[in-house]
Every structure is written in C-alpha cells, then in structure tokens.
Structure 1
C-alpha cells in the first residue's frame, strides 16, 4: 500500500475535537479543504492528495468518523451541524478563502456551506453529490416521529453492533467490500482509519448513532433556495456507475447553481478513489 506521508493535525481544538491531515506543500491561494462522505473518512482523499501535491490540502474526519471525537451522548448527527464543523475548521486554519472539495454527503455539505459562507469559498468541487437530500412537506411530521421512536430501538442494536470485534483488519476490510463496489486497497484505506486495535481485536471507531434516522431535513423548495445562493464556480464530477439518485438530483438542482459545469468519469460512487487520475486532472484544470 502506498505511503502517503501526510501530517496528522487537530483541525478543530474545541470538542468534539476534529482530526485532520495536511500535506507539506505551501502555495498561495491553493488551499483545498476536503469533505468526505457518510461513514467514510478523510482517507478517501489520499489518492487525490498524492496526485495533486502542489496544492495545500486539509482533509478532516467529521465528528463520529475516523479519528475525530464523537458528539456527546445527548447529541445527534444533524446535517446542519456539519456546516458548523466546516466553518470552525476553516476559521481555525485559514485567513483567506479556500477551495472546497466534497464527496457524497460531503458534496452536499459543500453546497450548503458555500451558500451560507460565500466569503470563505473560492470554488467548489462536488463528487457524486449535488443539492441536498430532502423530505417532502407532507412527510416532515412522520419523519420526526419515526426518528424519535427509532432512537431507543436502534441505540441498543447499534451499540451491540459497534461493540463487535473483528479478529483482524483483513476481516473488517472484507465486510466493507461486501457492501460496496470498492476494491480491497480502497476499503483498506477507509477501514484502517475507521478502526482501532483493542486487546480483543479490531473494533470500529464510527459512532453507531450515525445510523440513527434523521429527525429533520430541508424540503425541496428550501434546498433549491440554498443552491441558488452558491455563488462560487462549481464543478460536479459524476461517475458512470455512480448512484442513480445523483443523476435524479442533477435534473432538479443543476440549473440553480450560479456557475456549474459537469463532467462524467468512469467508476462508481467512490470514483475519486477508483479513477483518481481522471478526477485529479479535472480538479487541476478547474482550479487553475
């Protein structure tokens, strides 16, 4: 496996502490902040960071993922709280606007963050994610009810699942492979960072509460209004074998970005890991 030779940092010092990595390059106005997908971690960007070393990278694990701390026992993982996480990381580490790169859930947070804080964003790259996941108006109450009822039930189930110990990292990697289209080496990158060694074996670091039902989402009209407020130039990278949901979302949201261009690449939902050379080429040309 490639040695990516990156420096571990604390990207946010306030609790829950956020873990990140940076490369050792220093170039003016070439700062990229990378936002990973749900239940992934910053390691999904290692291949791109390796191929684009002339940029100043900061990739971080969202709370509950990778090496970052979990939210406290009373807290849940609301989508809008990720926007606060991004704001605090950028505020703590940069004094000038940055390029934002997001994959999947990270792409959706990139959209909402760029809408909320345009003064902090130079450009946006979305990989397999556009707009926001929404809830129809008529389902808002039932979604909240279901989320609350499921919290207690899923807490017991998820706690048991989270306490499951794998005999070695290889076993955990194969579990991830069974539920994704990723090759062994890519699952190894993700699961190595999402797990830890214990006396009994390998244990997941992911907070089981990440799997709780979301209590609230924007409706489509609100998501469209947010998308309209993304003023930065935006590049969307779509995978040929990616999620059908993304292709559906393109039809809804693409016309509302102020400046959006779209490119399709070979690969699946994690095309930035499966086809990093092409994705890196698109990013290099776009940021240039």
Structure 2
C-alpha cells in the first residue's frame, strides 16, 4: 500500500470515514515526520520547514474542511475532538506505508497531537509542538453561555447555506484580506491562501468549510485537561516564539509538571515561526530527533 500521488508532491489518503489531501516532501528512504497544521491553515504551512529539514520526509495533511481535504458531511456543529478520530485513523493506516518517527503539530495541530499522545503514548514515538501545548479549557461557569453562542451562530450559518459564496476578483485581494485579519506576513498569507481557495472564471473564493469559524459548543474544564495531561510520557519538544502567544510561555511551568520528558525552546518569531523562522526551527528539531 502507498500514498496516492495525484501530481508532484500532492498526496491523497482515503481514511474509513473521509478523504484527506496533503503534501509530501523528501525521498522515501528517509524517516517520516507527520505534520499537522493549525486552524484555517493547511499543508502548505510546512513548505518553508521542508526546505530545511532535508534529512526527513515530511507528510503534511490538510485537516478535514481545510485545503484540498473533504469536508465533514452534513451541516452539524464541529468539535475539536473529531480531529482525534482523524489522527487515529491516519496513524493506523500509515504503518502500511511508513510509521512516522515524530508527529509535528502547530497550534491546533499541536493541541490535537498532544492530547492524542497523552491518551495513547505507545502510538507516538516523538512529539514536536510549535506554539501549542494542550487542549483549550475554560471555567465550567461559561458552559451555558458558550452553548448559547455556539447554537446561535450555527442557526445563522444554516440560514445562509443557500446564499452564494463571496467571490474575490483575484487571489491578491484574498491574500490581503487574510493579512489584515491575522497580521501574518504577506508571503505566508499567499502560500496558505493558494491552497485554501477555489478558482473560477469570475474570480476566487474560499473552499474552507465555513463551519470552522463557528465557536465550539463545548470546551473542556481545567480539571479535565489536567487529568488528561498528567504524566505525559512521550518524548516531547515544545517550541514557542518570543512574539507568539504569551499564554503559552506563561504555561511553561504547567508543561513541566505535566510532561515527564519535555524540552522547551524559545525562538525569535511569531505564532507562525515555523514559516518565518523555518531555518532556526528546523535546526532545533534536528537536534531533538538525533539526540
């Protein structure tokens, strides 16, 4: 069994419940790193890193609803824990191709990878987290308000399903829109936007699942996350940016309590430092995996 290559380094992976798209860099005789992108990003976010991590293959998948992957069926609200099932199905299939020496996750991808490794440590050899640590949590007193806001937003979404999608006259307009929204550098906005857009004669529009922008109806409490993350056994590298999320840096003491085998490194860069500081990040990863 092998990955289905559509063209070049584009790959297609059929899971039992959904079809994923992705990108694969590096020759087949090199160790494989499975890369998981962040919310509203896609596999292209790991292209800069692939140019420096040349001793490895990097398989970067598009999460469902992102990039070229299928959307989840139906119109029901989405929840982060669905991604754990996607990852489990993917990891069960990969040994028939090549078992990864590490799972590399950025932001949402790191949250999913960390939670999965905490629950199933024997299935993950090494874990690399970039600007991510654990599932998000909030006080249980917010649960009623969260459910109300989530369902209100979902009702508005259902009412807009039949409305035509917003079409931009060209890709540059969409790139600038993402830049203004996130402050991510234009070159990286362009790289990500190219994979998240559909091209028509009249222009371009987003192909990302619009449900991704809706609030989750439920978030874990701290006690639940704390119970999950206790005695995290997987060999883990945590990379944060000095201009990334401050909450992550403030949580390092908690990470040291949770993880039994943790290396923590801070690098010059923002939340997307695996793109803007790819060379520095790749060197840290190489040392970690060869150590």
Q: CA deviation at 1:157?
A: 5.6
Separation in structure 1 between the aligned mates of residue 247 and residue 87 of structure 2, nearest angstrom: 25
Query: 2:60 matched to which residue of 1?
Result: 59
Q: Does 1:226 align with 2:228?
A: yes
Q: CA deviation at 1:22?
A: 1.4
Assess if the C-alpha contact under 8 Å between 1:158 and 1:209 holds in 2: no
Query: 1:105 matched to which residue of 2?
Result: 108
Query: 1:206 matched to which residue of 2?
Result: 208
Separation in structure 2 between the aligned mates of residue 156 and residue 269 of structure 1, nearest angstrom: 34
CA RMSD of aligned residues (A): 2.0
Q: 5+ residue gaps in structure 1?
A: none
Q: Does 1:17 align with 2:16?
A: no
Q: 5+ residue gaps in structure 2?
A: 1-6
Assess if the C-alpha contact under 8 Å between 1:99 and 1:123 holds in 2: yes
The one of 252, 261, 264 equivalent to 2:263 is 261
Q: CA deviation at 1:25?
A: 1.5
Assess if the C-alpha contact under 8 Å between 1:97 and 1:119 holds in 2: no
Query: 1:43 matched to which residue of 2?
Result: 44
Assess if the C-alpha contact under 8 Å between 1:15 and 1:69 holds in 2: no
Assess if the C-alpha contact under 8 Å between 2:34 and 2:58 holds in 1: yes
Separation in structure 2 between the aligned mates of residue 150 and residue 181 of structure 1, nearest angstrom: 25
- Once the two structures are superposed, what CA deviation does each residue of 1:188-247 show, in whole Å capped at 9, x if it has no partner? 110000001012211101111011110112111111122225311111111011122322
Separation in structure 1 between the aligned mates of residue 217 and residue 175 of structure 2, nearest angstrom: 31
Aligned residue for 1:67, secondary structure, equals: coil
Q: Is 41-50 or 73-82 further displaced after alignment?
A: 73-82
Q: Is 125-134 or 18-27 further displaced after alignment?
A: 18-27
For this pair of structures, how many residues does the alignment match?
282
Q: CA deviation at 1:125?
A: 0.7
Q: Does 1:152 align with 2:151?
A: no
Assess if the C-alpha contact under 8 Å between 1:155 and 1:209 holds in 2: no
Normalising to structure 2: TM-score of the pair? 0.90
Query: 2:93 matched to which residue of 1?
Result: 92
Query: 1:125 matched to which residue of 2?
Result: 128
Q: Is 148-157 or 266-275 further displaced after alignment?
A: 148-157
Separation in structure 1 between the aligned mates of residue 152 and residue 171 of structure 2, nearest angstrom: 34
Normalising to structure 1: TM-score of the pair? 0.91
Output aligned runs, 1:238-253, within 5 Å: 238-253=240-255
Q: Is 103-112 or 113-122 further displaced after alignment?
A: 113-122
Assess if the C-alpha contact under 8 Å between 1:107 and 1:126 holds in 2: yes
Query: 1:283 matched to which residue of 2?
Result: 285
Separation in structure 1 between the aligned mates of residue 285 and residue 19 of structure 2, nearest angstrom: 29
Q: Does 1:143 align with 2:131?
A: no
Q: CA deviation at 1:79?
A: 0.7
Assess if the C-alpha contact under 8 Å between 1:25 and 1:53 holds in 2: no
Separation in structure 1 between the aligned mates of residue 14 and residue 232 of structure 2, nearest angstrom: 25
The one of 196, 199, 206 equivalent to 2:198 is 196
